[in-house]
Amino acid sequence: MRPRPRHAAAVRLFCFPYAGGGAAIYRAWPDGLPSTIEVCAVALPGRGGRLGEAPFRDLSALVETLSDALLPGLDRPFAFFGHSMGALVAFELARLLRRQHRPNPAHLFVSGRAAPQLRRASSTIHHLPREGFLEGLRLLNGTPPEVLGNAELLDVALPALHADFTACAEYVYAPDAPLACPISAFGGEEDPEVAEEDVGEWRDQTVRAFSMRIFSGDHFFLRSAEREVLAAVAVPLRAMATS
């Protein structure tokens, strides 16, 4: 999904949503980025305009599908941005593209996610009955209250949320060579899920430059600090567009 198509853009930024999220998360991003950047928000099945499609419950299967689906758009320099589950998807997609000898991202932005090699306990709320799962979502503060308080909206949103949490919880990291693109890792000061030191461990996943920024906010600082996040993303993208 291209919120604002820019056919002459020098660089494409593919953006991957957090668990349960859709392409609409990134609809305002073109306003905060240079006109030389085209934002491509990845619309996953099971939400938004693809509500009638079954969501992926396996992260590897999702990444395999993405590598084919996005290939036509990889015909110019591009970068990946992912928040939370999206960071994991972006990272594994970059590694798969490398194995397939396909075009690789020139920059990887990972946000709101601990480095994948860390042996941290993943959320297991997908195993809980409905009320327990909903309480876990409330604690994460990512699902709008108007959704959590509306039974009809919940029935629509829960399949994708449950599938995404299952995919993340059952993800198994496989050691591989670090990526050959720079990585920028972002975290939230009050994030109860991801500690600052865990964000810093992304440095081991690249042989190129690594940078880290911690923003004010909880796990969803992507929304509360959107302007600051976009300013940080714009710096390397602007350099890519002029190189």
Residue 84 sits in a domain whose CATH number is 3.40.50.1820
For residue range 15-36, list pLDDT tens digits in order: 999 988 899 999 999 999 999 9
Which position among 60, 67, 84, 211 bears the catalytic label? 84
- Residue 103 contacts residue 97 (beta carbons within 8 Å): yes
User: Is 84 a catalytic site residue?
Assistant: yes
Residue 237 lies in a domain: yes
Residue 5 lies in a domain: no
Domain count, the chain: 1
Residue 219 lies in a domain: yes
Residue 137 lies in a domain: no
Is 12 strand, coil or helix? strand
Is 151 strand, coil or helix? helix
pTM: 0.91
Is 85 strand, coil or helix? helix
Residue 211 lies in a domain: yes
In one letter, which amino acid is 223? R
Distant-in-sequence, close-in-space partners of 70: CB < 8 Å, separation ≥ 6: 14, 42, 93
In one letter, which amino acid is 213? R
Residue 18 lies in a domain: yes
Q: Give the residues across from 95 on adjacent strands.
A: none
Residue 80 lies in a domain: yes
For residue range 167-222, list pLDDT tens digits in order: 998 999 999 999 999 999 999 999 988 999 999 999 999 999 999 999 999 989 99
- The boundaries of the domain holding residue 211 are 11-120+175-242
**pLDDT tier for residue 122 given thresholds of 50, 70 and 90:** low
